[in-house]
């Protein structure tokens, strides 16, 4: 059995940035970012600029070190697998050449993040790869902080999930938990808001989109929130089944 291909390999770092406000990056991750020979930054195919790079505003990265990756979140899993495999091959080539590589992802590195797929593919290609993953700030933690909205108090049960495909499934989830953090909402926002209003809990909920970015949207209480204007990428709903208990005199 041959030894793992590790001699001469560069180091791979996964770094969570944002979501949104500049400065949301751990000091240890910033140090690694400054040491990286190459920085890979994802960009949605529909976007002109990388949100991950926007989250690093004020941190200078020489243009020659940047590699923007165009992402198209195709619902076809075969297409996505091919995309991740190709990206991992490109990163592996740089690592084999001895270059240190940082990969940026929005929010926390391993919470509903494409970074997890890239890391798994790289470990298959380069067993024993020198690497470190730095935790980041999740979108729901940033949303809760921006609006002063506790994600759980006392023995409250909190569920974090991507938006279900139908209202009945989401209603069951809400009824079984005190708080539901809803991610990956997309075009489902219209019926989600309608459900919250029908359940009589919309006033206890909160909504955030593109936190810290120029077109940020924050709403505490979603009774009057317009789905058409709020719909879009980087949106999170914080759902509370009952009014928050007052614990002070």
**Residue 71 β-bridge partners:** 44
Strands of the chain, DSSP E: 12-17, 38-44, 66-71, 101-106, 131-134, 158-162, 179-183, 206-209, 217-220, 235-240
Token pair 């089944």 in the structure block, residue: 241
What are the tens digits of pLDDT across the range 94-139? Answer: 999 999 999 999 999 999 998 999 999 999 999 999 999 999 999 9
Question: Given this model, what pLDDT does residue 192 score?
Answer: 96
Q: How confident is the model at residue 3 (pLDDT cuts 50, 70, 90)?
A: very low
Query: What is the rounded average pLDDT of the residues 152-162?
Result: 94
Contact (Cβ atoms closer than 8 angstroms) between residue 118 and residue 103: yes
Q: Is the pLDDT of residue 11 over 90?
A: yes
Q: Give the phi and the psi of residue 167 in degrees, each rounded to 5.
A: -65, -35
Q: Going by DSSP bridges, is the β-strand pair 206-209/235-240 parallel, antiparallel, or unpaired?
A: antiparallel
Q: Is the pLDDT of residue 245 over 50?
A: yes
Question: Given this model, what pLDDT does residue 1 score?
Answer: 40
> Across the chain, what does the average pLDDT equal?
89
Question: Given this model, what pLDDT does residue 124 score?
Answer: 94
Classified as helix, coil or strand, 13 is strand
Tokens representing residue 118 in the block: 């890239």
Contact (Cβ atoms closer than 8 angstroms) between residue 24 and residue 129: no
The angle subtended at Cα 74 by Cα 69 and Cα 79, nearest 5°, is 85
Q: How far apart are CA 106 and CA 121, in angstroms?
A: 19
- Class of CATH domain 140-240: alpha beta
Within the chain, all domains assigned CATH 3.30.950.10 are found at 140-240
* 149 closest CA partner among 111, 180, 190, 189: 180
CATH code for the part of the protein at 12-136? 3.40.1010.10
Query: What is the rounded average pLDDT of the residues 59-79?
Result: 78
What are the tens digits of pLDDT across the range 169-201? Answer: 999 999 999 999 999 998 999 999 999 999 999
**Which is higher by pLDDT, 138 or 57?**
138
Question: Given this model, what pLDDT does residue 170 score?
Answer: 97
Query: What is the rounded average pLDDT of the residues 34-43?
Result: 92
**Residue 106 β-bridge partners:** 17
Q: Is the pLDDT of residue 45 over 70?
A: no
Within the chain, all domains assigned CATH 3.40.1010.10 are found at 12-136
């Amino acid at each position: 059995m041959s030894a793992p291909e590790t001699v001469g390999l560069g180091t791979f770092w996964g770094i969570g940035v944002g979501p949104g406000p500049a400065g949301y990056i751990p000091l240890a991750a910033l140090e690694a970012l400054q040491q990286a020979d190459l920085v890979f930054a994802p960009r949605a195919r529909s976007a002109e600029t990388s949100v991950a790079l926007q989250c690093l505003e004020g941190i200078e990265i020489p243009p020659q070190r940047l590699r923007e990756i165009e992402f198209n979140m195709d619902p076809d899993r075969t297409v996505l697998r091919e995309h991740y495999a190709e990206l991992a091959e490109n990163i592996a080539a740089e690592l084999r050449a001895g270059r240190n590589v940082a990969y940026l992802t929005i929010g926390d590195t391993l919470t509903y993040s494409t970074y997890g797929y890239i890391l798994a593919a790289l470990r298959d290609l380069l067993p024993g790869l020198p690497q470190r993953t730095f935790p980041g700030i999740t979108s729901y933690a940033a949303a809760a902080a921006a609006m002063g909205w506790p994600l759980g108090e006392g023995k409250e049960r909190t569920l974090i999930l991507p938006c279900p495909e139908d209202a009945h499934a989401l209603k069951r989830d809400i009824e079984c938990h005190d708080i539901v953090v809803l991610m990956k909402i997309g075009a489902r926002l219209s019926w989600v808001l309608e459900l919250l209003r029908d359940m009589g809990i919309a006033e206890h909920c909160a909504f955030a989109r593109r936190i810290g970015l120029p077109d940020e949207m924050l709403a505490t209480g979603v009774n009057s929130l317009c789905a058409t204007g709020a719909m879009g990428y980087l949106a999170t709903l914080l759902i509370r089944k009952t009014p928050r208990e007052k614990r002070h005199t």
